[in-house]
Amino acid sequence: DAGVIQSPRHEVTEMGQEVTLRCKPISGHNSLFWYRQTMMRGLELLIYFNNNVPIDDSGMPEDRFSAKMPNASFSTLKIQPSEPRDSAVYFCASSILQGGGNQPQHFGDGTRLSIL
Instruction: Please give the Cα distance from 63 to 81 (Å, whole number).
Output: 10
12 binds another protein (CB under 8 A): no
Q: How far apart are CA 111 and CA 92, in angstroms?
A: 9
Least distance in angstroms from the C-beta of 8 to another protein: 15
How large is the greatest C-alpha to C-alpha distance in the chain, in angstroms?
45
Q: Which string of x and - marks every residue 25-54 that binds another protein (by CB under 8 A)?
A: ------x-x--------xx-x--x-x----
**Region near another protein per CB under 8 A, out of 12-20, 68-76, 78-86, 89-97:** 89-97
Q: What are phi and psi of 105, to 5 degrees?
A: -100, 150
HSE-up of residue 112 (Cα within 13 Å, Cβ side): 3
- CB-nearer residue toward another protein: 31 or 82: 31
Instruction: Provide the binding-site residues for another protein, judged by CB under 8 A.
Output: 31, 33, 42-43, 45, 48, 50, 55-56, 91, 95, 97, 100-110
